[in-house]
Chains A and B, each alone.
Chain A
Amino acid sequence: MLKIENLHVNIGDKEVIKGIDLEIKEGETFILFGPNGSGKTSLLMTLMGFAGYTVTKGKITFRGEDITHAPTYERARLGVGMSFQRPPTIHGLRTRHLVQLCGQGDEVDVEDLSRKVNFEQFLDRDINAGFSGGEIKRSELLQLMAQRPSLVLFDEPESGVDLENMQLIGKVCRQLLDGRINARPDQSLKEIKEQSKTSGLIITHTGYILDYVNADRGQVLYNGHLCCEARPRDILEHIRTYGYQECVRCLK
């Protein structure tokens, strides 16, 4: 699904990603750990192709296509979807309208999708205008459900979210990754699972999201380098006990 080879990324003159190799397979969910400033968000921004993140070396392949230098909208149309941490407010653009646009020409049942994230009463508001932390997450999930990406990039699904919202967000995240959003009721769980081709790349600090999604693999990003591939729960346990000191030792 996604293959990153020897990726180096600069912001201005500063190298923030220093040679990363990573492969995420179809249907696989990958968890990215790492302290603040380690380059996690930069990696997601680079994968989405935003201005300011310059790939100086290496290659990004998505579903067999080289997207290293592709414009953002082409990546989106190919099936990369991202949940923003701090999305901008766009005056006069109703949430309902944007969700429709996310369908990229496909008919979207906005009302039905919005019920899944408890967001019906926000549909006629300007997108992100005065949204709280939890509301932003629900709005982002709503847009992703309409977009139906085959790779979901999720930057800290738990940040700024209270416990009650966390449950809802975790559940919908899971559904999105399991491909169950548009599942037919007459399909068995096994069939659904077999059809699922949605992959995920999730950044987490707290690990709360691990209670909800079925994470396959995890790794730590430290100072622009990837290290310590392990089961996500084990990594989390280790970080909780020892912090990121171990990474410093490990990378020496």
Chain B
Amino acid sequence: MSDTVKLSDFKFDGLSRDKIDDLSTLDAQDKETLIMSGVDVEDANRSGSFLQMDHSNVHCKSNDPGVEILDIKDAIEKYDGLTEYRWKLIDKDKDEYTRNTAANTHGGYFIRTKPGAKIEKPVQSCLFLKADQVGQNVHNIVVVEENSELHIITGCSVAHGTTSGAHFGISEFYVKKGGKLTFTMVHNWGSNVSVRPRSAGVVEEGGVLLNNYILMKPVKDLQMYPSITLKGEGARARFNSVVVAPEGSHLDMGNRVVMDAPDTRCEIIARTISTGGTIINRGHIGANHVPSRGHLECQGLILGEGRIWAIPELDGCLEGVELSHEASVGKIAQDEIEYLMARGLDEDEATSTIVRGFLNTDVMGLPAKLQKEVDRQIDELQKHGAM
């Protein structure tokens, strides 16, 4: 498996799309694809929506005066180049994907709250690959101003399971003093899609970043390693990932948190299942100040075939840091199966109950419709004997 995506295999120009004023006018198939990514096409339960299709932003709307949602190109124009936030956390020259995205940005969102605004309903976004062989470059910037709260649900999808494509997404997150950002990402790629997100964020004093990630569908190869710096005193971050890799999927993923201020806390929890694919599950917590507390969990189940390579790293730089990790790669424990069998469940029922628990996403606080969709995807995986 090569780690590089050959950019010349994809089309980075010419795949523009028309505006869509009302998401409910999308055709049935596109609609379903969006729903699977957590997008509520009815829009009523959302504070705003953003949809990027191939090379165009086709829909962008805020329903709440407390949150601004713009296409990144419009934001650059409106805010004199957006120099305060753009390419500040990620180096433009990091790799060929960032260079290519910097040179030819197709779109992406700029989402910013007003100071003190508690945005009750989530803002939803979807980055959608519709044409075959499309290469999509997006740059997203999220700014949560002081003492404001925001939940973003972002789904990524392809039109058909067979569509080939490549997605390159730069994301920069700014959580200011006392702000709180919940960022839920659902990936629904296909077995011919390569994905290279490049994400980074800073959390200021007393700020909170909660990050949820769900991947239940095949993807050709994905490589991502969002890096968050807890810059201000009392800042917190929590990452929860639930990932399933079927045969053919190659995932190199993880999270990095640097605790760069006193009284910081973080937790990175990844639950991964391979049913034939490869998962490299990284995690890194660094602590440069005290008191600071970090916990890292990489739990992996191999069901049938597959490979899970857990790489947990802890880097404490002075006396008094409290860092811990728990990692495991294995199969379902026999004592758990027997426990449930003693309650009358046969072996298959016991196994599926345990897998379901392993993939439990209750802690993420997803909206009901999305939770239902996630449950349905797990059902489907189990029904088809994938696990």
Residues of A bordering B, CB below 8 Å: 48, 50-51, 71-73, 76-77, 81-82, 84, 87-88, 90-94, 98, 101-102, 104, 126, 143, 147
Contacts and interface: CB of A to CB of B under 8 A. Distances in A.
Contacts, number: 69
Task: State the main secondary structure of chain B at its contact with A.
Answer: helix
B344 A102 contact: yes
B358 to A, nearest CB: 6
Interface residues of B, number: 25
Contact of A71 (B334, B341, B353): B341
B347 interface: yes
B165 to A, nearest CB: 33
Contacts of A147: 343-344
Can you list the 8 inter-chain pairs with the closest CB atoms, starting with the nearest? A92-B360, A92-B357, A93-B357, A72-B341, A76-B344, A73-B341, A104-B344, A88-B335
Interface of B: 271, 299, 333-336, 338-347, 350, 353-354, 356-360, 362
Task: State the main secondary structure of chain A at its contact with B.
Answer: mixed
A91 B342 contact: no
A91 B358 contact: yes
B339 A84 contact: yes
Contacts of A50: 338
A204 to B, nearest CB: 20
A93 B299 CA distance: 16
A143 B360 contact: no
B155 to A, nearest CB: 23
Contact of B346 (A73, A82, A87, A126): A73
Contacts of A102: 343-344
Nearest to A45: B338
10 contacts: A73-B341, A76-B341, A76-B342, A82-B342, A84-B342, A90-B336, A91-B357, A93-B353, A94-B362, A101-B353
B329 to A, nearest CB: 15
Contacts of B360: 91-93
B62 to A, nearest CB: 35
A63 to B, nearest CB: 15
A51 B338 CA distance: 8
A87 B339 contact: yes
Contacts of A143: 343
